[in-house]
Amino acid sequence: MPARPTTDTLIVREVESPLGRLRLIFDKVGLCELHFGGNVSPSSPPQAEEGRSNLWFVEETVRRLRQYFAGERVSFEDLPVSFPRGTDFERRVWSELRKVPHGRLITYGELATRIGAPAASRAVGRALAANPVPIVVPCHRVVRKGGGLGGFSAGLEKKRALLELEKAL
């Protein structure tokens, strides 16, 4: 696994949303973490402070998230995302998931098939649970084959709210 960037390369932004405050952490490549509320993982260094940046994608990501929560159809697929952690399999899952459009649902099995591992739906679920940038990498759009919501690292209430916002439910 590649090493996480040092704190002097991190930029932190916070965005208010109907689901509470989101904390965004960027490295020089792109968005590398998105956390709901005070739910910040130990991987986020506490000394990463609010910073200024000339990296276009920082403010663009914030702008699109605000539009998204205002109910607009927004694509995040072209925004740079950095995956400094994660296995090759997880990165394949996350990369493929970025192609699922706003308001559309896909099953764990369909996602597994898309990455060429049709028998790996449970492994896909584990990869989604490790997704460091929910919403932008839209793991909330993945549901069970029978129509059940499945899981969501931030809780099923937030998953349902995101799907309702996208009018996918």
- For residue 134, what are the contacts with CB-CB under 8 A and spacing of at least 6? 34, 36, 140, 152, 153, 154
Q: Which of 53, 42, 41, 45 is nearest to 13 (CA)?
A: 53
Beta partners for 54?
none
The number of angstroms, rounded, from the C-alpha of 143 to the middle of its chain's C-alpha atoms is: 15
Say which of 74, 139, 143, 165 is annotated catalytic: 139
Q: Which of 88, 131, 92 is nearest to 113 (CA)?
A: 92
Q: Using alpha carbons only, give the angle 23, 28, 34 rounded to the nearest 5 degrees.
A: 20
What's the rounded Cα separation, in Å, for the pair 71 and 47? Answer: 33
139 is catalytic: yes
* Catalytic residue annotation: 139
